[in-house]
Amino acid sequence: MSRWSRVRDQTAALIVVDMQKDFCPGGALPVPDGDRIVPTLNRYLAEARTRGMPVYASRDWHPAVTTHFKEFGGEWPPHCVQGAEGAQFHADLHLPADAVVVAKGDDPSAPGYSAFEGHTANGATLLDDLQNRHITRLYVTGVATDYCVKATALDGIRAGFDVRILRDAIAGIDLHPGDVDRALDELTRAGARVVDGFDTQQRSA
């Protein structure tokens, strides 16, 4: 019997940030070697399922015209446009059928870096959905460490969650050398913990 089958924690949630085709090699805005974390993410997804832990998957869902894109005054080339191939999740990512998809960046006047700026299919904010499930701890994974992962984790801390960053399940852009290290330092100073896996014992809320 797996040790994961003996541990259940429904007060924690796993958040997979923006594991979309455009952020992986061959995409419009690739994170260097961003797809290397997919096997690790799949392991955590399987462990989360065994624990009864809800899974959230955020995705950039930009309109074709947005101030987030260079053509309209933003920082980035077009990526993750609503309905486009590049906006789909990585083909090898094994999201469970009941994963809660959180769309963000669909406001043409805002970049939408944080998953807390997004909404579920029924229009609920991520914060509302987490609170409705009585979640107190977030395990944050995905891309990019120095942008959407950082923004999501910081918003989680501000909202009062116990935030853990899964060290082997994140990847960054490092547009300016040192950005990833600075992001992790900012997160730890803000109160997040960078960890190597889920806790092996259930904690009370």
Catalytic position from the list 9, 21, 80, 148: 148
Whole-prediction pTM: 0.93
In tens digits, the chain (205 residues) has pLDDT values of 344 444 556 799 999 999 999 999 999 999 999 999 999 999 999 999 999 999 999 999 999 999 999 999 999 999 999 999 999 999 999 999 999 999 999 999 999 999 999 999 999 999 999 999 999 999 999 999 999 999 999 999 999 999 999 999 999 999 999 999 999 999 999 999 999 999 864 443 3
E strand or H helix that includes residue 165:
strand 162-171
Instruction: Determine whether 24 is an active site residue.
Output: no
DSSP 204: -
DSSP string, 35-64: GGGHHHHHHHHHHHHHHT--EEEEEE-B-S
Instruction: Determine whether 199 is an active site residue.
Output: no
Catalytic position from the list 22, 24, 104, 150: 104
Instruction: Determine whether 18 is an active site residue.
Output: yes
